[in-house]
């Protein structure tokens, strides 16, 4: 007999009896290791695998690698056989960011085979047009498909997914077509944050992405001095009442400095309102990346930006001094609380080279200390260069004026880092929580974790902590245990930024389920009881 697990002692509305099909034939340890199921096929199904029974816990597991597909034969009898051979060949190409083949990633689209079974056409749809390995993908795709014995001609088209946020909530109209929003922050003035933001934006644009810059500093906007657009005033569309951004070298720009007001003198709440209006009423159009040049500090403006805009990630800018580290640490902690991952640290004014030696006039260690203390994966050192400083006064970013220089190469590496990290974050968020109908369980694999676990849908629905389910004043449970059917199934699960998912239930209720809450539910299921239900085969 298997051991069943239920929640620790709690009010009746929190105690859930696992359904019969969620009971394992053998006891499951705390680690809850389970055989991994095969990843879903993207354009067509290559193989089908029997699904193992699920433990009641419904436990954690580490994903296993998929078995390698067998090679294609020299002769194909039908178009379906030919498509299968092509997909097996393409599954040899592994995306270095996701660690999964491009077929399982869903990159292969519009696969067509000619009637003579000699010509193959397909499209590789990447997550971003700035993908740093897109040329490698195109080359390898041509190579592996052309190697099939029956293939005479290969036509590969490269494309990118349309811009859209990984967010299920109601977004302002202007933000609905922006894929990634990157905050460049330092929490300290004078460290070169605006220089990094502008040069990063133009680096991403040079990689083929559609990019915008939002200067969020109302008291001292820097963008008007760092770029040289022909039109230096924002225009309001008289029909839609939306703000039309100005442009310079293909990058869309919005700053309070372009609003005809110069620098503002106003109180905090007014500033937050101005920032909100500028950001949300601007018609940004389709953007792959919107770079936000954050103002110094960790006050109302920063919280407004983080709440209004679904930030994908943050880049932290610092200098070698210890004082800079103290302020930067506050910003990193702020982003951590708001569930915004910091993907890179840029240490500006780090060194200069002279007499064939490298000098560090302000000491070493601030950037390294941020990386080590907060576990941020990437560190980039910027030198002290007169050209980098003067570019903020000439209106031409350094990466534009000297695209082959040493500074441009550092920003190129930063741009590749940002693209790769954003792609990983979006992939993790989009697949973090899903519903497996074959075993009627909600699968959870939160970002930055190699483990996954399963929850009974009724458990998740009964443990909603919103005001619709729990009285905010008394704590009384409005939704009782019996109000939720045991066989309830979610109709839709969509990401809510980096911290939660929105689950739509058959009764029309939309539940916001934070990852932390789902993880807490799984960890509470830890008390073994005698088994009372039979195991249902998958």
Q: Given 399, 430, 461, which residue is the final one in a domain?
A: 430
Burial, 96: exposed, middle or buried (Cβ in 10 Å; 0-12, 13-18, 19+)? exposed
**How far is 359 from 353, CA to CA, in rounded Å?**
6
Do both 93 and 198 map to the same domain? no
The pLDDT confidence band at residue 85, using thresholds 50, 70 and 90, is very high
Do both 304 and 426 map to the same domain? yes
pLDDT at 377: 84
Q: What is the pLDDT of residues 347-361, one digit of tens each?
A: 998 888 888 898 888
Burial, 29: exposed, middle or buried (Cβ in 10 Å; 0-12, 13-18, 19+)? exposed
3-state secondary structure at position 137: helix
pLDDT at 6: 32
Average pLDDT over residues 256-263: 73
The yes-or-no verdict on residue 342 having pLDDT over 80 is yes
The answer to whether position 41 is within a domain reads no
Do both 189 and 153 map to the same domain? no
The answer to whether position 356 is within a domain reads yes
| Residues of the chain above pLDDT 90, percent | 36
pLDDT at 282: 93
Full residue range of the structural domain in which residue 102 is found: 79-160
Q: Given 160, 185, 210, which residue is the final one in a domain?
A: 160
C-alpha 176: how far from its chain's center? 15
Strand ranges of the sheet holding 453-455, from the earlier edge strand across to the other edge = 433-436, 441-444, 453-455
The yes-or-no verdict on residue 258 having pLDDT over 50 is yes
Do both 101 and 142 map to the same domain? yes
The yes-or-no verdict on residue 439 having pLDDT over 70 is yes
3-state secondary structure at position 367: helix
Of the listed ranges 75-89, 177-191, 484-498, 515-529, the least confidently predicted one is 515-529
Instruction: Decide if 309 contacts 279 (C-beta within 8 A).
Output: yes
3-state secondary structure at position 499: coil
The pLDDT confidence band at residue 265, using thresholds 50, 70 and 90, is low
Do both 335 and 266 map to the same domain? yes
Three-state secondary structure along 61-94?
A: ECCCCCCCCCCCCCCCCCHHHHHHHHHHHHCCCE
The yes-or-no verdict on residue 28 having pLDDT over 70 is no
The answer to whether position 537 is within a domain reads no
* Beta pairing partners, 123: 109, 157
Which CATH number do you get for residue 131? Answer: 3.30.300.130
Do both 327 and 193 map to the same domain? yes
Residue among 458, 436, 455 nearest 523 (CA): 455
pLDDT at 69: 38
**How far is 449 from 164, CA to CA, in rounded Å?**
25
The answer to whether position 42 is within a domain reads no
Of the listed ranges 47-56, 234-243, 316-325, 452-461, the least confidently predicted one is 47-56
Instruction: Decide if 529 contacts 4 (C-beta within 8 A).
Output: yes
pLDDT at 291: 97
Cβ-Cβ contacts under 8 Å for 127 (sequence gap 6 or more): 160, 161, 423, 426, 427
**How far is 18 from 462, CA to CA, in rounded Å?**
13
Burial, 113: exposed, middle or buried (Cβ in 10 Å; 0-12, 13-18, 19+)? buried
The pLDDT confidence band at residue 532, using thresholds 50, 70 and 90, is very low
The answer to whether position 34 is within a domain reads no
Joined tokens for residue 144? 């592996």
Which CATH number do you get for residue 280? Answer: 3.40.50.300
The yes-or-no verdict on residue 486 having pLDDT over 80 is yes
Cβ-Cβ contacts under 8 Å for 93 (sequence gap 6 or more): 101, 102, 137, 140, 141, 144
**How far is 374 from 33, CA to CA, in rounded Å?**
29
The yes-or-no verdict on residue 63 having pLDDT over 70 is no
Cβ-Cβ contacts under 8 Å for 520 (sequence gap 6 or more): none
Do both 414 and 452 map to the same domain? no
pLDDT at 17: 32
pLDDT at 395: 87
Q: CA–CA distance from 342 to each of 20, 184, 286, 328, 337 (Å)?
A: 43, 10, 24, 12, 11
Which CATH number do you get for residue 510? Answer: 3.30.2020.30
Average pLDDT, the chain: 79
| Residues of the chain above pLDDT 70, percent | 80
Do both 398 and 461 map to the same domain? no
Of the listed ranges 104-113, 160-169, 495-504, the least confidently predicted one is 160-169
Gyration radius (Cα) of the chain, Å: 26
- Compare 108 and 25 and report the one with higher pLDDT: 108
The answer to whether position 61 is within a domain reads no
Residues found in the chain: 538
The answer to whether position 67 is within a domain reads no
Do both 294 and 344 map to the same domain? yes
The pLDDT confidence band at residue 171, using thresholds 50, 70 and 90, is confident
Torsion of CA 246, 247, 253, 256, to 10 degrees: -40
Do both 273 and 422 map to the same domain? yes
Burial, 533: exposed, middle or buried (Cβ in 10 Å; 0-12, 13-18, 19+)? middle
- Compare 6 and 441 and report the one with higher pLDDT: 441
Average pLDDT over residues 294-304: 75
Do both 248 and 347 map to the same domain? yes
Q: Given 160, 192, 212, which residue is the final one in a domain?
A: 160
The answer to whether position 347 is within a domain reads yes
pLDDT at 266: 57
Do both 340 and 483 map to the same domain? no
Instruction: Decide if 108 contacts 90 (C-beta within 8 A).
Output: yes
Strand 433-436 versus strand 100-101 pairing type: unpaired
Overall domain count for the chain? 3
């Amino acid at each position: 007999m298997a051991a069943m697990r239920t929640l620790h002692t709690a009010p009746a509305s929190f105690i859930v009896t696992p359904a019969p099909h969620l009971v394992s034939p053998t006891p499951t340890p705390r680690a809850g290791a389970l055989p991994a199921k095969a990843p879903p096929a993207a354009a067509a199904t290559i193989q089908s695998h029997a699904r193992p029974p699920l433990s009641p816990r419904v436990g954690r597991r580490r994903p296993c690698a998929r078995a390698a597909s067998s090679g294609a034969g020299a002769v194909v009898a039908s178009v379906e056989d030919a498509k299968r051979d092509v997909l097996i060949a393409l599954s040899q190409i592994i995306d270095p960011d996701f660690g999964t083949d491009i077929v399982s990633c869903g990159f292969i689209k519009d696969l067509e085979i000619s009637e003579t079974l000699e010509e193959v056409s397909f499209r590789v749809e990447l997550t971003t047009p700035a993908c740093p390995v897109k040329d490698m993908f195109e080359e390898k795709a041509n190579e592996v498909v052309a190697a099939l014995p029956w293939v005479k001609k290969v036509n590969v088209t490269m494309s990118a997914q349309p811009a859209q946020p990984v967010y299920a909530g109601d977004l302002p109209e202007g933000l609905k077509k922006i894929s990634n929003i990157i905050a460049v922050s330092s929490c300290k003035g004078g460290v070169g944050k605006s220089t990094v933001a502008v040069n990063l934006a133009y680096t991403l644009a040079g990689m083929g992405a559609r990019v915008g810059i939002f200067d969020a500093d109302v008291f001292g906007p820097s963008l008007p001095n760092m770029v040289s657009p022909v039109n230096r005033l924002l225009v309001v569309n008289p029909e839609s009442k939306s703000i039309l951004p100005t442009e310079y070298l293909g990058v869309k720009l919005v700053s309070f400095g372009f609003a005809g007001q110069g620098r503002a003198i106003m109180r905090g709440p007014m500033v937050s309102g101005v920032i909100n209006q500028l950001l949300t009423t601007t018609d940004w159009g389709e953007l792959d990346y919107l770079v936000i040049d954050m103002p110094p500090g960790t006050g109302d403006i920063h919280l407004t930006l983080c709440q209004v805009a679904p930030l994908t990630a943050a880049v932290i800018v610092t200098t070698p001094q210890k004082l800079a580290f103290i302020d930067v640490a506050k910003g990193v902690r702020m982003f951590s609380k708001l569930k915004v991952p910091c993907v890179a640290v840029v240490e500006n004014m780090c060194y200069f080279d002279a007499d064939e030696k490298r000098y560090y006039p302000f000491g070493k260690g601030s950037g390294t200390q941020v990386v080590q203390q907060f576990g941020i994966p990437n560190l980039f050192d910027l030198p002290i260069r007169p050209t980098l400083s003067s570019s903020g006064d000439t209106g031409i970013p350094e990466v534009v004026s000297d695209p082959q220089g040493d500074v441009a190469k550092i920003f190129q590496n930063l741009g590749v880092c940002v693209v790769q990290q954003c792609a990983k974050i979006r992939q993790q968020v989009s697949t973090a929580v899903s519903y497996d109908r074959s075993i009627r369980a909600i699968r959870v694999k939160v970002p930055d974790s190699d483990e996954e676990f399963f929850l009974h849908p009724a458990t998740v629905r009964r443990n909603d902590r919103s005001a619709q389910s729990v009285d905010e004043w008394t704590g009384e449970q409005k939704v009782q245990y019996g109000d939720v059917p045991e066989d309830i199934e979610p109709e839709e699960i969509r990401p809510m930024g980096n911290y939660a998912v929105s689950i739509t239930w058959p009764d029309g209720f939309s539940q916001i389920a934070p990852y932390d809450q789902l993880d807490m539910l799984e960890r509470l299921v830890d008390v073994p009881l005698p088994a009372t239900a039979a195991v249902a085969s998958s």
